[in-house]
Chains A and B, each alone.
Chain A
Amino acid sequence: MPFYLGQWTGAGTRRDPCVPQGVKGTDWSVIDLRADGGATPAGGGVNALLLHADTPQTDPSLVLLADAETDVLTVAGKLALTTKLGLASVTALTFRDLLVDLMTNPPAEKWKPVLSKPNTGLAEINLGPVKIATVVVASVS
């Protein structure tokens, strides 16, 4: 159940939709980390995604981050994340920690944080088999 850092390709039309570059197979899902949320195919400054695929991927544009959510991030994985996402550093220990950090407290002017579900008050982060329920603390402006 591998997880990858990747980027989008495609023109953003129905006939040529934005899809993860190099992805193969018929069962995959992503978390979109484009800065503009997908208003443009290239993402408006950050063209990135986190991919889960049921089968291992071989395209060199996909950087393997973890095989399981509890896997500790490697130095190479963290370097790829800082470069691709424009982060100063990645402090998360595991892939699960990374998902929580990225989706509950994204950098300014990048992708939006996850919303809480009204019935639980918790925000969910889902990627393939990973399902995290977490508290989102609203920022004070």
Chain B
Amino acid sequence: MAFSDNFNRANENPLAGNWTTVGGAGANMQLLSNQVRAAVTGNHSCAYWNTDLGSADHFAEIRYTAAAEDAGPTVRNLKTDVTLYTYNALDTGGAIAKLIAGTYTNLAVRAATWAAGDLCRLIVNGSTLQAKKNGVQIGADLTDSSIPGNLAAGLCDFGSAFNDIDDFLADVLVQPPVRGGLLTMGVG
């Protein structure tokens, strides 16, 4: 089941409803003017969708509302601290990164030119990560094995400025069943 939020409702600080913010005091995500952003600059501000997705193999997508924002979608969020994978459109021109217990690591520079309205999707499948801009993959697939589970997805704002994010979407990946047994070949 897909989870989505267009944030078109009354302001919330912290972001509420289906969301929980993480990151410590002063690091809330807030809903302001039908978009979300950090409540305070200079902090990691992350939020996850409260209901777990049905699989650790899933994606999260957000829409940037300005160019090269210091923010992005997150997957495999741990709910008890800031552990997750993310894409950051500002970091080194764009990078796939991870936070493990709050420690920020760049895994791959995936430079792209981001504009207001662009969709950023981060996909995790097994130990493979992919980033997409408007449906087109940025760079090659990436391997990281440090977050094997976690069923939550969300978004982060890394607070260099007030980065607005809109139109969240998350879902599990469509996984065709593995066919067991012998392969058969049709004869036409």
Q: Of all chain A residues, which has the CB nearest B93?
A: A26
**Interface size counted on chain A using CB atoms at 8 A:** 43
Contact call B91/A112, Cβ cutoff below 8 A: no
How long is the Cα–Cα vector from A31 to B92 in the complex, in angstroms? 18
Q: Of all chain B residues, which has the CB nearest A116?
A: B126
Is A19 interfacial (CB 8 A cutoff)? yes
Residues of B within 8 A of A39 (CB): 100-101, 103
Known: A17-B91, A36-B100, A119-B178. A103 touches B140 (CB 8 A): no
Partner among B141, B160, B178 whose Cβ is within 8 Å of the Cβ of A121 = B178
Q: What is the interface of chain A mostly: helix, strand, loop, or mixed? A: loop
B contact residues, range: 35 or more
How long is the Cα–Cα vector from A116 to B107 in the complex, in angstroms? 20
Q: Of all chain B residues, which has the CB nearest A114?
A: B127
Closest Cβ of chain A to B111, distance in Å, is: 5
Partner among A26, A32, A116, A120 whose Cβ is within 8 Å of the Cβ of B105 = A32
Closest Cβ of chain B to A59, distance in Å, is: 16
Is B8 interfacial (CB 8 A cutoff)? no
A residues whose Cβ falls under 8 Å from a Cβ of B: 8, 10, 12-14, 17-19, 25-32, 34, 36-41, 103, 111-121, 123-129, 131
